[in-house]
Amino acid sequence: MRRFSGFLRVAAACLCRNKVDFSDLQRELQEVKKRVGAIEERQTLQSLLAFYSSRPMQKMSNLNEVIYYCLKTGYNAEIFCHMELPVLLARLIMAIDTLPCGLNAMPSVLLVRNTYLDSFKKLIKCDFPDNDESILHFRRVVADIEEAHSKRDVLGTMAMGLLELKKLLSRHRQYVFSQNKKPSGSAFELTLDEALMDVTKPMDNFSLRMVNYNFISRMLLTLEENDDDMVGMVDLKIDLERVVRNAVDDAKEVCTQHYGDCPDVKFIISKDANTMRFPHMSSTITYIVVELMKNAFRATVESHMERNSAGMVDCSNMPPVEVLVNIKKNAKHACICVSDEGLGMTRAQCELAMTYAYTTVKRPVIQHGADEDPEEERNGVSPLAGYGFGLPMSRVYAQAFGGDLVMSTMEGYGTRVYYYIKP
C-alpha cells in the first residue's frame, strides 16, 4: 500500500505539471508489477503445497515390500518417485511451517525451508518420465536436489535453528528469573530444556518425512548399480554382527581422538547355527550404533575419569561397555543392546534424553554446511556432537523402517539402550 500511495503521488505530480516525462511513473509501475507477481507466485505455491501435502503417501517401512517392487518386472522407479517426492517435500515444508515455540521462525530453519521449497519447485516442473529424455532429465534433477540438500546439511542447520531458539528463550527466562528467584546452573538448563519438550513430536514428524524422502531419492539414484547382494542402498542379506563390530570400531576411534583412550568393549553374540539374515541398510545401523556407543563411551569415561602420570586419560581400569547382538533365526526382531556403567541419569534427565532440546554438552561446536571442518569430517567425528540430535534421530531412523529404540537407566549405576530391528 505504501508503494501504491507513492505511485499515486508521482502520477498526481506529473499531471499537475503537465509534463510528458513518465520515467518515474514507469518505475513505480514496474515495482507494483513485481510485488503483484511475487504475491501471486507465493499464493500459487501455497496452493500447490496444500494440494500435494493432502495427497496420500506410500508406506516405506517394510523393506521387503520395497525390494519386491524394485525387482518386479515393469516397475518404473522414476514414475513412482515423480509421484511421491513432491508429496514428501510438500509435507516437509508444511511440517516446518507448523513447528511450535517459534522454531519455524528461526533463521537457520528458514534456510532449510527455502532449500526444500526450491527443490519442490524444480520437481513439479519435471515432465512425466515416460521416455528416455524425460527420465534422464528427472534423474538429473533428483541428483541436483540431493547435492543441494547435502550442501545445506539439513540436520546440522535444523540443530543450529534449535540452538538459536534456546539462546533466545534463555535470555527471556534469565530476565524473568532475575526478577524473582533464579535457579542456578544445571537447574536452570533443565528448566529451559523442559520448556522445549513440545518441540519433540513436531520434530519427529519432520525428521521422519526427511528420512523417507532421502530413502526414496537415494534408492532411485543407486537402483541401477550392479550388485547381486544389493538393491539400491538395501543389503539383501545383511551380516548384522559384522556391521555392528565395524560401527563399534568407528565409535572407538572417535572416543580415542577425543579423550586419548577408550574403554574396552565386551561383545555377546546370541545366534543359532543358521544366522539370521535379512534385508536392511548397513548405513542406518552404523549411524545408530555409533551414536549409542559414543554416548556409552562418554558416560563411562567421564564418570570413571582416571589419568596416568603423564596426565593423560587412562581407561584400563574402567568397566567395559557391553554390546549384545541377538540374531537368532526365529526371533521376531533382531536386537542390539548397548549397556554402560556410566552412573546413569536421573528420571528427569532420562525423559529429556530422547528430546531434541537436551544435551549434556555445555557448549556444542556449531559447524555445518560450507563452514564444516573437512578434517573433522574425514576423521569420522559426528557433526551433530553436542546438538542433542543423536538419540532422537536414532529413534526416528529405527522407527522409519519398522524398528524401535528404547532406553532404560539406573541412577548411580548405568544406562542400557535396546535397538530393535525388524527383519
Count CB atoms within 10 A of the CB of residue 381.
18
Alpha-carbon distance 307 to 286, whole Å? 31
Classified by CATH at the fold level, domain 63-222 comes out as Butyryl-CoA Dehydrogenase, subunit A; domain 3 (1.20.140)
The overall average pLDDT reported for the chain is 84
269 three-class SS: strand
CB 265 within 8 A of CB 320: yes
Q: pTM (2 decimals)?
A: 0.83
H helix runs in 304-388, sequence order: 347-353, 374-378
Q: Tens digit of pLDDT for each residue in 372-419?
A: 443 334 344 444 356 678 899 999 999 999 999 999 999 999 999 999
Closest CA to 392 of 367, 370, 364, 417: 417
pLDDT at 274: 76
- What nine digits make up the cell of 293? 556407543
Count CB atoms within 10 A of the CB of residue 192.
18
- What nine digits make up the cell of 371? 563452514
H helix runs in 60-196, sequence order: 63-71, 77-97, 107-124, 132-152, 154-179, 186-195
Q: Confirm or reject CATH 2.30.30.100 for domain 237-421, answering yes or no.
A: no
Q: Tens digit of pLDDT for each residue in 112-140?
A: 999 999 999 999 999 999 999 999 999 99
pLDDT at 375: 37
Residue 217 φ/ψ, nearest 5 degrees: -60, -45
User: How far, CA to CA in Å, does 144 sit from each of 119, 131, 149, 234?
Assistant: 9, 20, 9, 22
pLDDT at 301: 93
Alpha-carbon distance 162 to 196, whole Å? 9
Q: Tens digit of pLDDT for each residue in 240-258?
A: 999 999 999 999 999 999 8
Q: For the chain, give every domain's residue range.
A: 2-43, 63-222, 237-421
DSSP state of 313: B
Q: Tens digit of pLDDT for each residue in 258-292?
A: 899 999 999 999 998 777 889 999 999 999 999 99
Q: CB neighbours of 369 closer than 8 A, spacing ≥ 6? A: 151, 152, 153, 156, 157
pLDDT at 182: 56
For the segment 310-337, the average pLDDT, to the nearest whole number, is 90
